Structure 1
Amino acid sequence: MWEIILLVLGGLGLFLFAINNLSATLSALLGDKAKKWLGYFTKTIFSAILTGTVITTILDSSSAVIIMTVVLVNAGALTFRQSMGIVMGANIGTTFSSQLIALDIGQYSPIPIFLGLMFSLFSKSEQVSSTGKVMLYFGILFFGLYTMERAVGPLKDDPAFLTWMEKLDSPLRGTAVGALVTLVIQSSSATVGMVITLAKKGLLNLGGGIAVMIGAELGTCSDTLLATIRSDRQAVKTGVFHLFFNMISIALGLLIFPLFVGLIEQVSGNASLEQKIANAHMAFNTTGVLLFIPLAPLIENLLNRLLPATGKQRQAAAA
């Protein structure tokens, strides 16, 4: 059992290391271009959602995109209204990584690791070297998942573990576990990755996997809210909107949980269990965004009343 725990921790460590460095490397590679794109393509709610989706898909981290948005709002480069669309788009963008994780490509991860290492070490071009690092971190990310997948295999024969996993069928219990795990490891992508890994090994059923995935959406709000500490009220409203969006989506998801699980089962057909969970992740976040789009002006007015701009902020907005 200790060997399994150590291997899972090692795989999770590699995954988190890759996620953090991948986001930082891509941000550095894009430079100020990403910030300019955020400003150029967030004029309407729809363009802001699309921009948030694209940038999150590229950076593979909704938290990184939302935190960057909070920083830009705090700096006055973006308005709160623009940030709402980006936050919703980031929730869609993060589902593409779960689709990628559901593909069984972990066994090929040494290839991008080797190629990325060669490019980053031996290329004299900064651009090529940075691109090599991106390849390297992508390889490490999937190797971490592959390590966890191999580690949890023996748990199929552990009655105590199987009994505990069966309890995750309860929507509330599964959601609480997903939120807690994400709160601890500070990565909803890692939580969803672990869920898909357990599903691949037959250790988690569809209902339990969806419940934990839903909980991960709540846990990911913590680092966004931390980013708003010592920020102005416009930036704070961005963090509060992210929390509000996720809490309402989760409440609705839990309210129709059996129907949602049945719908995913029906729509996914003969797809593998891990693919069904990835489909559920995409359907859940996309549906949440579609429901929130018409409500965005009302929510904006509500948060403006709850957290009105200070005198200095009103003067800056008028200027």
Structure 2
Amino acid sequence: MPYPDRRTLLLALALCLVGVPALAQGGGEQGLDWLKLIMSSIGGLALFLLGVSEMASGLGCVAGGRVERWLHGATNGPIRGLATGVAATTVLDSSSVTIILLIGLVDSGLLNFAAALPVILGSNIGTTVSSQVFALGVDDYAPVALAGGLLVRAFVKNEKVRGWGQVVAGIGLILFGLNILGDAMEPLKEHPGIVEWLRATETPLRGVLIGAVFTLLIQSSSATLGVVITMAGQGIIDLPTGLAMMLGAEIGTCSDTLIATIGRSRAAVRAGLFHLGFNLITVAVGVALIGPLAALASWTSSETQHQIANAHVAFNVIGALAFLWITPLCARLLERLVPERGDGAKAEKAPA
């Protein structure tokens, strides 16, 4: 997981690249303070990412060993594997961390490659919990969580309790960052240049590309969903645009797991490729069916931010369940595509 300072630098570049087209389309006439808006946005997302890092670190202290034991024991059937992935990702609040832990277990031979596939599917469901939290709009209570967590860290001696204090403080930072982002972005919904530029992102493929690149730059699909849901809550983007960006985040989040497979065993590489292939296929289907997905999301709520969060859940649950029963087939296919080292040479010598 990259350090927050690296993420912040990449985020600054991303926000500048996103802001340039809108700024070039006549930002001055609305009297927007662009420097203040960009700096506030960078600060808000930097706090969000720092909160994610702090929460993950705290959870690693209080539950890291337990999660590894869960993952190690996830070999008794696809349903248990799926449930393990959901639980582990909910606890760690990061599908990337869960899958990277899986890759390490597969690489070391402690977990069978085929048994890891349902856990990967479960991790995609577990990551939807954070989008539901963001959509609730509880960021006004950020100072309570932040202050409570810091007080625990300052005055409690028990390391496990201090770890939970770090988790709560991290949640406070995440919510505080979202609050700052929301306040910073509110003026954009009245800006004609921004409105026109965002209309162009209603093309699903462009929205997917923006979501994927943004997630690749900041290395956090949760942060991308947080920004998308915040913009939807402010009325800056509509449902189809938000759904397209959500789908793009599903692709961008694969970068962490692919990097984690470098230098690993062939089995570990197969696990990373399964995650990428699953996300590419489900996103392609999601783009093709974005109309029905939007209709389903509209039926679940009258507010755009809740619609996007609910669509995120439905998309990942349906995709995971659709793939769950063919994971043995996927495992055999990947074993052919990525054979063990030396298998090719043996195959060539066999006819002789």
TM-score, L = length of structure 1 = 0.95
Following superposition, the deviation at residue 310 of structure 1 comes to 3.5
1:85-104 correspondence runs (5 A): 85-104=118-137
Corresponding letter in the other structure for 1:275: H
Alignment correspondent of 1:298:
329
Alignment correspondent of 1:316:
none
1:54-133 correspondence runs (5 A): 54-133=87-166
Instruction: Give the Cα–Cα distance (whole angstroms) in 1 for the partners of residues 301 and 263 of structure 2.
Output: 49
CA contact (8 A) 1:88 1:289 kept: yes
Corresponding letter in the other structure for 2:67: A
Q: Which of 295, 302, 310 in structure 2 is aligned with 1:262?
A: 295
CA contact (8 A) 1:195 1:209 kept: yes
**5+ long unaligned stretches in structure 2:** 1-33, 344-352
Following superposition, the deviation at residue 215 of structure 1 comes to 0.4
Instruction: Give the Cα–Cα distance (whole angstroms) in 2 for the partners of residues 30 and 279 of structure 1.
Output: 28
CA contact (8 A) 2:214 2:252 kept: yes
Question: Where in structure 1 do 4 or more consecutive aligned residues deviate above 4 Å?
Answer: none
Identical counterparts, % of pairs: 42
Q: Secondary structure at the match of 1:77?
A: coil
Q: Which of 310, 320, 326 in structure 2 is aligned with 1:289?
A: 320
Q: Secondary structure at the match of 1:242?
A: helix
Q: Secondary structure at the match of 1:203?
A: coil
Corresponding letter in the other structure for 2:320: V
Instruction: Give the Cα–Cα distance (whole angstroms) in 1 for the partners of residues 301 and 174 of structure 2.
Output: 29
Instruction: Give the Cα–Cα distance (whole angstroms) in 2 for the partners of residues 72 and 12 of structure 1.
Output: 32
Instruction: Give the Cα–Cα distance (whole angstroms) in 2 for the partners of residues 311 and 37 of structure 1.
Output: 33
CA contact (8 A) 2:296 2:311 kept: no
RMSD, aligned CA: 1.3
Q: Deviations over 1:74-108 (max 9, x none)?
A: 11111111211111001000001100100111010
Q: Secondary structure at the match of 1:213?
A: helix
Alignment correspondent of 1:317:
none
Alignment correspondent of 2:178:
145
Q: Deviations over 1:221-280 (max 9, x none)?
A: 0111000001011110110000000000011111112122122212x143x110000001
Q: Is residue 189 of structure 2 the alignment partner of residue 156 of structure 1?
A: yes
Instruction: Give the Cα–Cα distance (whole angstroms) in 1 for the partners of residues 213 and 184 of structure 2.
Output: 22
Instruction: Give the Cα–Cα distance (whole angstroms) in 1 for the partners of residues 64 and 240 of structure 2.
Output: 41
**5+ long unaligned stretches in structure 1:** 313-319
Corresponding letter in the other structure for 1:304: E
Following superposition, the deviation at residue 121 of structure 1 comes to 1.1
Instruction: Give the Cα–Cα distance (whole angstroms) in 2 for the partners of residues 42 and 200 of structure 1.
Output: 41
CA contact (8 A) 1:42 1:85 kept: no
Alignment correspondent of 1:33:
66
Instruction: Give the Cα–Cα distance (whole angstroms) in 1 for the partners of residues 217 and 257 of structure 2.
Output: 14
Following superposition, the deviation at residue 42 of structure 1 comes to 3.3
Instruction: Give the Cα–Cα distance (whole angstroms) in 1 for the partners of residues 57 and 261 of structure 2.
Output: 19
Alignment correspondent of 2:208:
175
Following superposition, the deviation at residue 21 of structure 1 comes to 2.4
Largest Rg, 1 or 2: 2
Alpha carbons of structure 1 residues 31 and 96: separation in structure 2 relative to 1, 3 Å: closer
CA contact (8 A) 2:53 2:170 kept: no
Alignment correspondent of 1:202:
235
Q: Is residue 307 of structure 2 the alignment partner of residue 276 of structure 1?
A: yes
Instruction: Give the Cα–Cα distance (whole angstroms) in 1 for the partners of residues 336 and 191 of structure 2.
Output: 54
Instruction: Give the Cα–Cα distance (whole angstroms) in 2 for the partners of residues 256 and 205 of structure 1.
Output: 17
Q: Is residue 64 of structure 2 the alignment partner of residue 7 of structure 1?
A: no
Range that drifts further, 15-24 or 285-294: 15-24
Aligned length: 310
Alignment correspondent of 1:185:
218
Instruction: Give the Cα–Cα distance (whole angstroms) in 2 for the partners of residues 97 and 276 of structure 1.
Output: 14
Instruction: Give the Cα–Cα distance (whole angstroms) in 1 for the partners of residues 297 and 163 of structure 2.
Output: 39
Q: Secondary structure at the match of 1:109?
A: helix
Instruction: Give the Cα–Cα distance (whole angstroms) in 1 for the partners of residues 203 and 211 of structure 2.
Output: 12
